[in-house]
């Protein structure tokens, strides 16, 4: 077992094989194990010869990837996955795409279903082997209107093949009001309806297995079964609590330190009176332990809060080096700020590797909304930090002949060029969104003008090399509405 509910998994398998309904919606609050279940099902279906995992899409607003929260990316991604494993589907998909030169992938969701999924699926030979698509964390999608269109199409379209969609999300209002919540037509399971004793037992197994899989060379036992049971009880049904606890405790390499962290966690969770729930208590504990005043100076805590705000507000994957340049800080300082927060923040091993992010969306919710006054971070801090950082990088990095081309007649590189560092790419693509997110965006008008008056063409050259000329046009129009931009008089509507 890897931490998901045994009964729930078997329920999914039986439904896929025998139930005529095409949609199974798994609803649950943050941290209740929805993604854990989705990942486990992916592995099970990949290994089951009686099923075909057609495609997956894991939505996320903390993965720092714009595409992971874009509803319009879901259907094209599922179609691409299935085309990789089914030549018949791929052939029919190519036929559908050819007249439109592939432009259908950029159209509204309601116009994607028929050419990208329905008609290619209808070309498949009928059989008893179900084709399963898994879409996780629908509530993480940024466009509620497009999401509503997606759910409507999912609930109404019929397929000649045996097609199954497994969806997971929080029970948000706009999803509860959609057709997928109709229990007469779809299978719906709310995780809170599962008995608490069963959930606690699954979490106990999860914690126990993780501890057993991470032994130390020292044969001394650093935990007891009673400790595992106590942690499972404290989790109060939240798998993310258990996952965070495990990451925090195992992120040490000695028996003494693991014992210390385990007992400190148990004591803190029992005595916590500030947090509103077990997960908040866990986050409060991790942050407090990482910023103990006897070990961390006030300015270091402020630096850490600024780094966290930037990570939570970033709009695409960033590396430690890119964060350092955007924040105007040394990379080692960024790594040190995050060193004691690895239970809640993923940090790649290599400084140039993108992917620094919060492990779960609930961590950002806690820091922005529910944390105590000594820990709480203002949402605006991330935009302030990244807006100023983007403008600083643009002022420093933009120059003549950004593409390093020997001739203007030569085409741009076909792939992302190595000579454009990630910090510059981020600054070019995202600066206006962070500037516009500030309550006092006008305070940066002077900086924007000073940067773009002499460097506008250099910026456009980078956007062209990156393949985002159309996006550059949209950003300029957005800038004309947001800031006193130097070229607004040349923008026509």
Rounded Cα–Cα distance for residues 85 and 73 (Å): 19
Structural domains counted in the chain: 4
Same domain, 29 and 169: yes
Tell whether 82 and 145 lie within a shared domain: yes
Model pLDDT for residues 103-137, shown as the tens digit of each residue: 777 788 989 999 999 999 988 876 678 999 999 99
Last residue of a domain, one of 161, 193, 225: 193
Q: Is 472 among the domain residues?
A: yes
What is residue 1's predicted lDDT score, i.e. its pLDDT?
Answer: 39
pTM (2 d.p.): 0.63
My answer on whether 114 and 18 are in the same domain is yes
CA atoms of 204 and 218, how far apart (whole Å): 24
290 token code pair: 């990482």
* 409 and 370 together in one domain: no
Rounded distance, CA 398 to CA 428, Å? 9
Are 439 and 337 members of one domain?
A: no
Distance (Å) of CA 94 to CA 84, 104, 115? 12, 12, 10
pLDDT in tens, 335-392: 888 888 888 898 888 999 998 988 777 888 889 988 888 788 998 999 999 999 999 9
* pLDDT beyond 90 at 28: no
Asked if residue 282 belongs to a domain, the reply is no
| Residue 458 structural domain | 383-490
Q: What is the pLDDT of residue 2?
A: 43
Domain of 56, CATH number, reads 3.40.50.300
> Distances from the Cα of 468 to the Cαs of 347, 460, 462, 477, 490, in angstroms?
28, 9, 9, 14, 20
Residue 326 counted as domain residue = yes
Same domain, 31 and 174: yes
Helices assigned H by DSSP within 343-486 = 361-365, 379-397, 422-436, 445-465, 469-482
Contacts of 173 (CB under 8 A, 6+ apart): none
Look at residue 285 and tell me if it is in a domain.
no
Is the domain of 363 the same as that of 417?
no
């Amino acid at each position: 077992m890897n931490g998901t509910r045994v009964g729930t998994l078997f329920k999914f398998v039986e439904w896929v094989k025998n139930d005529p309904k095409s949609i199974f919606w798994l609803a649950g609050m943050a941290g209740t194990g929805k993604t854990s279940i989705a990942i486990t099902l992916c592995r099970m279906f990949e290994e089951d010869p009686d099923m075909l995992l057609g495609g997956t899409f894991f939505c996320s607003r903390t993965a720092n990837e714009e595409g992971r929260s874009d509803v319009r990316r879901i259907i094209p991604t599922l179609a691409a996955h299935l085309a990789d494993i089914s030549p018949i589907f791929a052939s029919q998909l190519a036929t559908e795409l050819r007249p439109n030169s592939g432009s259908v992938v950029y159209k509204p969701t309601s116009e994607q279903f028929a050419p990208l999924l329905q008609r290619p699926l209808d070309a498949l030979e009928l059989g008893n082997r179900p084709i399963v698509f898994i879409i996780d964390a629908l509530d993480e999608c940024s466009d509620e209107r497009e999401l509503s269109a997606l759910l409507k199409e999912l609930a109404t379209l019929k397929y000649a093949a045996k097609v199954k969609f497994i969806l997971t999300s929080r029970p948000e209002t706009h999803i509860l009001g959609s057709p997928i919540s109709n229990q007469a037509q779809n299978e719906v399971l709310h995780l809170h309806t599962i008995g608490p004793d069963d959930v606690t037992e699954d979490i106990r197994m999860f914690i126990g297995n993780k501890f057993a899989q991470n032994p130390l060379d020292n044969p001394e036992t650093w935990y007891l079964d009673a400790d595992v049971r106590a942690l499972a009880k404290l989790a109060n049904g939240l798998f993310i609590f258990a996952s965070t606890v495990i990451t925090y405790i195992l992120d040490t390499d000695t028996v003494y330190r693991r014992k210390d962290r385990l007992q400190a966690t148990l004591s803190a969770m029992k005595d916590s009176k500030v947090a509103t729930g077990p997960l908040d208590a866990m986050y409060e504990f991790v942050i407090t332990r990482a910023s103990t005043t006897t070990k961390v100076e006030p300015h270091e805590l402020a630096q850490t809060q600024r780094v966290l705000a930037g990570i939570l507000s970033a709009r695409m994957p960033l590396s430690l080096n890119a964060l350092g340049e955007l924040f105007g800080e040394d990379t080692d300082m960024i790594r040190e700020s995050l060193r004691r927060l690895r239970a809640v923040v993923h940090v790649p091993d290599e400084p140039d590797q993108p992917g620094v992010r919060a492990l779960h969306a609930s961590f950002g919710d806690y820091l922005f909304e529910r944390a105590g006054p000594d820990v709480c971070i203002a949402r605006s801090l991330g935009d302030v930090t990244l807006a100023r950082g983007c403008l600083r990088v643009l002022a420093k990095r933009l120059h003549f002949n950004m593409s390093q081309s020997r001739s203007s007649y030569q085409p741009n590189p076909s792939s992302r060029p190595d000579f454009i560092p990630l910090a510059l790419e981020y600054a070019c693509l995202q600066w206006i969104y962070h500037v516009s997110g500030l309550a006092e965006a006008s305070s940066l008008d002077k900086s924007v003008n000073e940067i773009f008056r002499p460097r506008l063409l250099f910026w456009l050259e980078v956007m062209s090399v990156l393949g985002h000329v159309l996006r550059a046009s949209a950003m300029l129009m957005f800038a004309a509405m947001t800031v006193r931009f130097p070229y607004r008089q040349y923008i026509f509507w």
